[in-house]
Amino acid sequence: MLIWNIIFYASSIIMLLAACSLLFVKEPMHGAVYLTTSLLALAVIFYLLGAPFMAALQLILYVGAIMVLFVFFIMLSPENERFSIKVNKNVILPLILMVVMLIEAGIIIQPSIALVSSHNIEMISAKAVGSALFGHYKIAIEAISTLLLGALVAVIYLAANMKMTVDDTDASKEQI
């Protein structure tokens, strides 16, 4: 049991550090790495809490989506362009105050929180989730898939136009 606790706390710390690092990173690719790390640690926590199906969904849906984000970012970003995000230096004090206030709120609220026993929780299977998604929520799933397909086509169209514009600009510079 001690090893499970160590893994749980290590995953929690890794998840929190990666999420906090995500707030202050300047490069978008580094942000994607931190987000992936945070989501992987969350999948480990789900597994340790006895929800292996949720851990698998976390890995497949969210971490997989971030990997697709990596691929699109690499494919669609110009090689010579540097992306930088300016960090406001006046954000440190409000963040420290926010953390202190959250800790204080947790201390105040803690005695009134009623913990739910895990014995009352019913495990759901992948078959039940699939039946719900493609039974009752079939129209919503189809609408989401159509929306994602439209977004994919729009990104490819915009990237092609942006590349043509960059090529035209380079050609006009060569003529001068």
- Does the structure show a pLDDT above 80 at 74? no
Tokens of 138: 């079939």
- Does the structure show a pLDDT above 60 at 7? yes
pTM for the model stands at 0.52
Tokens of 89: 């230096």
Tokens of 8: 């749980």
Tokens of 47: 């597994």
Count CB atoms within 10 A of the CB of residue 1.
Answer: 5
- The CATH number of 1-77 is 1.20.120.1200
Provide the residue ranges of all domains of the chain, joining segments of one domain with +.
1-77, 125-176
Do residues 45 and 19 make contact, with C-beta atoms less than 8 angstroms apart? no
| Each residue's pLDDT tens digit, 146-164 | 888 888 888 888 877 776 6
Do residues 159 and 76 make contact, with C-beta atoms less than 8 angstroms apart? yes
User: Which range has the worst mean pLDDT, 65-74, 80-89, 126-135, 159-168?
Assistant: 80-89
Q: Between 80 and 16, whose confidence is greater? A: 16
